[in-house]
Structure 1
Amino acid sequence: PFISIAQSAPAIEWQRTWGSSGEDGGQVIKPTNDGGYMVIGSTQAADGDVTSYHGGYSDAWVLKLDATGFLEWQRTFGGSGADRAEDIEQTIEGGYIVAAITTSNDGDASGNHGGWDAWLIKLDADGNLEWQKCYGGSGNDGARSVVQTEEGGYVLAATTRSNDGDVSSNHGSADYWVLKLDELGNINWQNTYGGTGYDEAADLQETDDGGYIITGVTTSVDGDVTEPANATDTWTIKLDHNGNIMWDRSLGGTSDDYVYSIKQAMDQGYVLAGSTSGNSYGCDNNSFYAYVAKLNASGELEWQYTCLGGSADDFTNTITQTADGGYVLAGWTESDDGDISFNHGSRDGWLVRLDPSGNLLWEHTFGGSNNDALYSIALTDDGGYVIAGSSFSTDGDLTENKGEGDLWVVKLGPDHVGIAQRESQPLFSLSPNPANEVVNIHFAEALPVGARLKLLDAQGRHLATPHEGNVVTTGSDVQFSVAQLPAGMYAVQLSSEGGIWTQRFVKQ
C-alpha cells in the first residue's frame, strides 16, 4: 500500500554558523563516510572559530563536522595572496581532495604560474596537507569542480585565460579547461573547449558511461560552440573518457543566461540550475529569475523553468535529484512576491522543490534581516537535506554572527514530498550490516523493467554495479563482494522510472 504525501518544506532541525571578525562564507557541503559532513569556503581573519590565517586577502577554509553539526576540526590553506576553496570530495582512501583558486606563491601554495591559478589540495583524513599543485599559465586561471575517478585519479574542471604554461591552446578570451590527473596530481591530459568569445566553466560530473558532463556559460559563436550564443548563454558539453566532445548544447533567450550546477538524472539525462535575465524569456520583470533545464541523454531539451521567482533578483546555485525523481535547488532571493512566499529582509537563502516534470511543489526562505544565501545542498540519510552558505544576520533563523559574513550550515528534517511512499516493507534489504566480506541483497519484489542497481559511496559516487542482466524475481538474492572497500558508509541504490530506493550499510 501507499500513503499520500503532504507538500510542504521540511523543518529546521539545527543550524550553526562559524566565522571570524572578517568576512567568511561556505561554498560546498558534502557528506562523509562516517555520517558527518565536509564544508569548504573562505575566511579573512584568524579569530573566532578560525585558528590560523596566512595574512593575504583570503584563505581557503576546510571544516569537518560530525552528524549533528558540531565542529571536529578546521584548517586554513593559503599564502600572502587571495585563496578560495571551490569544491571538495572525500577520496577513496578516506582523505579529501580540494579544488581551489590562488594568487599565492608562498605559504601552502607553490608553483604559481602567474595571476590566478587553479589549485588542487590533497588532505589526509585529519585535514593535514599531503600535497598541492598549481595549474595554469601567465593569464588568470581557476578551478571550479573536482571529481575522483573510478581508477583513483582526478578530473579538474577549470577556466583558463592562458595560452602557455600548462595550457596547450586557447580559443579566445577564456576557455573551459578540463584536466585529467593521476592520483598524485600529475597531468595525464588536458583540453580546452570554447570559441573566440568568453567561455567559463561552472561544474563537472563524471557520468555513468565513464565520460564527463561539464557546464558553464559562453558568449562564443564559433569554435567548439555549435549553437551560436544570443548574448551570454548556458553551454553544456558531453565528453567521453578521453576528453573528446560527444555533443554540446547551448541554451538561452534573448538576454543573459547563466548556469552554476549540473547533475546526471536517474534517466541518464541531465538537469541544470542557474539564473536568467527576466527580459530573456519575457518574464514579468527585468530582474534575474531562477532557471532550471532538463536535457535528455543526447543533450536535447526536454523542459525548462524560465521565470521562477519574483520581482527582485532570484538565483539558484545548485541542484540535486531527490528519491522520488524530482529535484531540489538551493540559492538566494531578494523577492517578496511571485513564487516567493516570504522574505525575512534583504537577501534570503532559498530552497525550491520541483517534481520530476519541473513543476513547483514548494519553496521556502531561510535567513534574517541581513544578507543570507545558500550555495550547496546534499541529501541526508534520514530523507532530509543539509545546506551550506553564508549569513550576515543575527535574527530570524539565525542565532549568532561572529563578525561580518559567517559560514552557515542548516540541517532540515525529512522531506515528505513524493509521488508515493511505501507503507510496507522496503523493495530490498541488505545483510549482514555491518559487513566485512560480502553483502547479500534480498528482493521483496521483482525488479521493475529497466531498473538499475548501483553501489555508491557516502558522496554518491558510483563505485560498481552489484547486478546486471536478467530481471530479478520476487524473493531472490544477489550477493556481491565488499572486501576491497575501505571502512565506512556505503549504499546500494535501485533506480527505475518509478523512483529511487536506497539502502545503506557499513563496511567494517
Structure 2
Amino acid sequence: MKTLTFVNLFSLSIACLVKTFAQAPDIEWQNTIGSSNYDFLTDISQTSDGGYIMGGYSIGPISGDKTEGEIGADDYWIVKVNAAGTVEWENTIGGFNYDKFYSIEETLDGGYIIGGHSLSGSGADKTESNIFGYDYWVVKLNATGVIEWQNTIGGSGNDMLYNAQPTSDGGYILAGTSDSGISGDKTEDRVGNTDYWVVKLDADGNITWQNDIGGVMFDNLFSAHETADGGYILGGYSTSGISGDKTEANIGANDYWIVKLDADGVVEWDNTIGGTGTEYLYSLIPTTDGGSLAAGISDSGISGDKTEASSGNDYWIIKLDEDGNITWQNTIGGTGSDLLFVNPADQTADGGYIIGGYSTSGISGDKTEANTGSWDYWIIKLNDGGSITWQTVLGGSSGDYANAVSETADGGYIIGGYSYSGISGEKTEANIGDADYWVMKLEGTCVATAEICNGLDDDCNSLIDDGVTETITISAAGPTTFCQGGSVILNATTTGPNYQWKKNGINIPGATSSTFTVTAKGIYTCETSSTCEIGRA
C-alpha cells in the first residue's frame, strides 16, 4: 500500500454509462490455442489480475502453443492468458497413462486448484500411484503454474472427479462419482452401481471428511459448491428409485438429483426432478438469493416436473429456492440436439444468468440463428425470471463445443471450449491440430471512465480500483491562531471511509472521526485509507 501526500486536491464524479444489448454483444477477442494433435478445453474463468485461467486435457506434442510434449495418453494442460487473451504461461501435467482434466479455480493465495481423474501410476508429475482404475487427482498450483502439492484419492474401483472448488475455510470440496467399496481412501461402501462421492480437503489437501451418497442404481455427481450457511449443494443425475440416501422415486430413465449437505457433509435434504424421458444435470450453482440454478439437458415431454416439451435433447434450466423447490424452469432448444456439459452456467451481476453449450439446431424453436458448422457454440442470456434476453451462435464450418461460460468484471463474458474448425464463420484463426482450445471474450457493458475507489472496474481494463489513491482536504471552522484556553475545529473531507488524525506526525489516540478539536499548538494532519491507496493532508 503506497502513501502519497496531497496539498491541493479535487474529486471526480463518475458515472458508468451502460449500453443495453438489443442483440448479443460482439466478440472482443478470440484465441485458438493448441498443439498439432487433440486439445480439449473443459473449464475457464477470470482471474484476479484481469486475465483468464483455463484447463483441459491434451495428447499433443511440442507444437503450436504447447511447449511441453505429451507425458501419457492424456495430460492436464493448463494455460494462463492475460486480459487480451495472449498466452502468459502454460503447463502440461501428467503421469504415464490417462489423466482427464475437468475443473480449475483460482485460490485465495492467487494460485489454482485443479481436478480431474487419473489412471496413471507414480511417475513424471504424478507422485502417487493410482489405487485401482481411475482415481481423483487433485493438484494445487502456485500463481505461475508450479505444482505445490497433489493428492491421489480413490478406492479399489473407478473414482471419477469432475469438480473441485475452494471453500471459505481455505480448503476444498471435491465432487465426483465412485463405484469403489471400502478400500484405499474410501471409508464407506457404495450403495449402488455408482454413487456420489463427496470429499472435503483441508488447505494442504488432506481429507477431513467424505460421504458416499446414492441409491441402488447409477448416481453420477458433477457439481458441488459451498452455500451461504457453510453447507454444500450437490448436483448430478440418477437412475435410482427410493433406496439408500434417495428419498424419492425416479420419474424417468435419468433424473436431476439435488442433494443439500450441512457443513460436516451430512445430508439435509434431497430432491429428484425430471420428466418421463432422460435428464442429465451437469451444473448446480448457488445464487445470491440463497437458492441455486440447475443447468443440464432433457429429452422429456411435458411430464413429471417438466412443464415444457423437448424436441430432442434441449437445455433444461431450473431455478430452485433454498429448500430445493422449483421457482421457475425453461426448456430451451431447436429441432436438433442442444447440449450442455461440465461448466455451462453463471449468475450475472444483473441477477440473470449466462448459459453456454453447443447445438446442431438450425433456426427453430428458441433458436434464432442458423448453425455455421455441424456443432456450434450456443450462448444464451437469461433474465432473473429465466426468459431469454439475447442469444448468439458462434462457430466455424466444422464442430465447435463450448464447455464453460462466465461473466467478466467488465460485464462481458468469457467462453471456452474446443474447435475442429478452420477460418470460417466467427473463427478468425486456423486450427493448429485436430481439436484446439477456442476461447473468446464477448464485449462488456461498461464505457471506460476514470477509475475511482468504488469496487468497480470503471476504466474497463478488467482490474478493480487499480491505480486509485484516496483524496482528503482539511478546513478550519475558525482562526488557526488563538490564545491559551481557546480551540478550533478541523474538518476533514475525504473519499475514503477511515480517518486518523496526527499531531506532529504521531497518531492521536481515538481521533478517528471526520472532525478534531485542536486545543494546543502543533502541526496537524489527517490520513484516510481504504482498500485502495492512502491519502494524507
Flag whether TM exceeds 0.5 (same fold): yes
1:112-151: per-residue Cα shift (whole Å, max 9, x none)? 1111111001111111112211111111111111122222
Distance 2:349 2:307 in 1: 33
User: Are 2:19 and 2:445, in contact at CA under 8 Å, matched by a contact in 1?
Assistant: no
1:390-435: per-residue Cα shift (whole Å, max 9, x none)? 011111111210011101110000258xxxx9x9x99967899569
Counterpart position of 1:388: 416
User: Are 2:356 and 2:377, in contact at CA under 8 Å, matched by a contact in 1?
Assistant: yes
User: Are 1:278 and 1:289, in contact at CA under 8 Å, matched by a contact in 2?
Assistant: no
User: Are 2:354 and 2:406, in contact at CA under 8 Å, matched by a contact in 1?
Assistant: no
Correspondence 1:346 to 2:365: no
Q: Could you say if the C-alpha distance between residues 415 and 290 of structure 1 is closer, same or farther in structure 2, counting changes exceeding 3 Å?
A: farther
Counterpart position of 1:414: 444
Correspondence 1:250 to 2:279: no
Correspondence 1:86 to 2:102: yes
Structure-to-structure mapping, 1:111-126, within 5 angstroms: 111-126=129-144
Larger radius of gyration: 2
Q: Could you say if the C-alpha distance between residues 439 and 228 of structure 1 is closer, same or farther in structure 2, counting changes exceeding 3 Å?
A: farther
User: What displacement does 1:232 show?
Assistant: 0.3
User: What displacement does 1:333 show?
Assistant: 0.6
User: What displacement does 1:507 show?
Assistant: 8.4
5+ residue gaps, structure 1: 441-474, 481-503
Counterpart position of 1:448: none
Distance 1:256 1:138 in 2: 30
Structure-to-structure mapping, 1:207-246, within 5 angstroms: 207-221=227-241, 222-230=243-251, 231-246=253-268
User: Are 1:384 and 1:412, in contact at CA under 8 Å, matched by a contact in 2?
Assistant: yes
User: Are 1:53 and 1:59, in contact at CA under 8 Å, matched by a contact in 2?
Assistant: no
User: Are 2:34 and 2:433, in contact at CA under 8 Å, matched by a contact in 1?
Assistant: yes
Distance 2:348 2:338 in 1: 22
Counterpart position of 2:54: 39
1:265-302: per-residue Cα shift (whole Å, max 9, x none)? 12111111110014465866652011100100111111
Counterpart position of 2:185: 166
User: What displacement does 1:351 show?
Assistant: 0.2
Post-superposition, which runs of at least 4 consecutive aligned residues in structure 1 deviate over 2 A? 1-7, 53-56, 278-286, 425-436, 475-480, 504-508
Distance 2:144 2:82 in 1: 13
Counterpart position of 1:355: 383
User: Are 2:113 and 2:141, in contact at CA under 8 Å, matched by a contact in 1?
Assistant: yes
1:180-235: per-residue Cα shift (whole Å, max 9, x none)? 11122111111111111111111111111111111000111111111111220011
Structure 2 SS opposite 1:260 = strand
What's the TM-score once normalised by structure 2's chain length?
0.77
1:29-55: per-residue Cα shift (whole Å, max 9, x none)? 111121111000011111221122344
Correspondence 1:17 to 2:32: yes
Q: Could you say if the C-alpha distance between residues 284 and 244 of structure 1 is closer, same or farther in structure 2, counting changes exceeding 3 Å?
A: closer
User: What displacement does 1:251 show?
Assistant: 0.7
Match of 1:204 among 220, 224, 229: 224
Amino acid in the other structure paired with 2:158: N
Q: Could you say if the C-alpha distance between residues 353 and 57 of structure 1 is closer, same or farther in structure 2, counting changes exceeding 3 Å?
A: same
Counterpart position of 1:300: 325
Identity of aligned residues (%): 38
User: Are 1:54 and 1:107, in contact at CA under 8 Å, matched by a contact in 2?
Assistant: no
User: What displacement does 1:5 show?
Assistant: 3.7
User: Are 2:261 and 2:269, in contact at CA under 8 Å, matched by a contact in 1?
Assistant: yes
Structure-to-structure mapping, 1:64-75, within 5 angstroms: 64-75=80-91
Q: Could you say if the C-alpha distance between residues 51 and 205 of structure 1 is closer, same or farther in structure 2, counting changes exceeding 3 Å?
A: same
Structure 2 SS opposite 1:192 = strand
Amino acid in the other structure paired with 1:345: G
Amino acid in the other structure paired with 1:403: G
User: Are 2:175 and 2:224, in contact at CA under 8 Å, matched by a contact in 1?
Assistant: yes
Amino acid in the other structure paired with 1:385: Y
Counterpart position of 2:163: 145
User: Are 2:283 and 2:345, in contact at CA under 8 Å, matched by a contact in 1?
Assistant: yes
Structure-to-structure mapping, 1:475-490, within 5 angstroms: none
User: What displacement does 1:316 show?
Assistant: 2.8
User: Are 1:291 and 1:304, in contact at CA under 8 Å, matched by a contact in 2?
Assistant: yes
User: What displacement does 1:89 show?
Assistant: 1.5
User: Are 2:455 and 2:465, in contact at CA under 8 Å, matched by a contact in 1?
Assistant: no
Amino acid in the other structure paired with 2:171: G
5+ residue gaps, structure 2: 1-14, 459-463, 472-493, 500-529
Q: Which sits farther off after the overlay, 282-291 or 159-168?
A: 282-291
Counterpart position of 1:135: 153
Structure 2 SS opposite 1:100 = strand
User: What displacement does 1:242 show?
Assistant: 0.4
Distance 2:288 2:401 in 1: 28
Distance 1:51 1:70 in 2: 15
Q: Could you say if the C-alpha distance between residues 412 and 3 of structure 1 is closer, same or farther in structure 2, counting changes exceeding 3 Å?
A: closer
Q: Could you say if the C-alpha distance between residues 44 and 357 of structure 1 is closer, same or farther in structure 2, counting changes exceeding 3 Å?
A: same
Q: Which sits farther off after the overlay, 252-261 or 88-97?
A: 88-97
Amino acid in the other structure paired with 1:298: D
1:82-111: per-residue Cα shift (whole Å, max 9, x none)? 112211121212211111111001322223
Structure 1 SS opposite 2:340 = strand
Counterpart position of 1:268: 290
Correspondence 1:373 to 2:401: yes
Q: Which sits farther off after the overlay, 51-60 or 349-358?
A: 51-60
Q: How many residues align?
A: 443
User: Are 1:275 and 1:315, in contact at CA under 8 Å, matched by a contact in 2?
Assistant: yes
User: What displacement does 1:250 show?
Assistant: 1.0
What's the TM-score once normalised by structure 1's chain length?
0.81
User: Are 1:159 and 1:201, in contact at CA under 8 Å, matched by a contact in 2?
Assistant: yes
Q: Could you say if the C-alpha distance between residues 7 and 16 of structure 1 is closer, same or farther in structure 2, counting changes exceeding 3 Å?
A: same
Distance 1:507 1:11 in 2: 35
Distance 1:359 1:434 in 2: 36
User: What displacement does 1:345 show?
Assistant: 1.9
Q: Which sits farther off after the overlay, 223-232 or 96-105?
A: 223-232
Distance 1:295 1:477 in 2: 39
Name whichever structure is richer in strand by fraction.
1
